[in-house]
Amino acid sequence: MQYAQRVQAASMHDAAAMTNLANVCLSRLSGQTYAKRRHAQRPARKG
């Protein structure tokens, strides 16, 4: 029982870490694309 609980807790922790990592990567990617879009839109507005 204890071993199973430990494995379950470890797998849950790994899943949380993976989701956190994925969220960070997604936020960084979306931030980069957002910055690129904003940068690309600026000259069009000025022109």
* Each residue's pLDDT tens digit, 8-30: 888 888 888 889 888 887 888 77
| pTM beyond 0.85 | no
- What does the DSSP 8-state code read for residue 1? -
Count of domains for the chain:
1
- Tell me what the pLDDT averaged over the chain comes to: 76
CA dist., res. 40 & res. 47, Å (int): 12
Higher pLDDT, 18 or 44: 18
Structure tokens at 26: 């997604």
Buried b (16+ CB within 10 A) or exposed e, 10-44: eeeeeeeeeeeeeeeeeeeeeeeeeeeeeeeeeee
In this prediction, residue 45 has a pLDDT band, given cuts at 50, 70 and 90, of low
CA dist., res. 37 & res. 11, Å (int): 38
Residue 1's pLDDT is: 62
In which domain, by residue range, is 47 found? Answer: 1-47
Residue 5's pLDDT is: 82
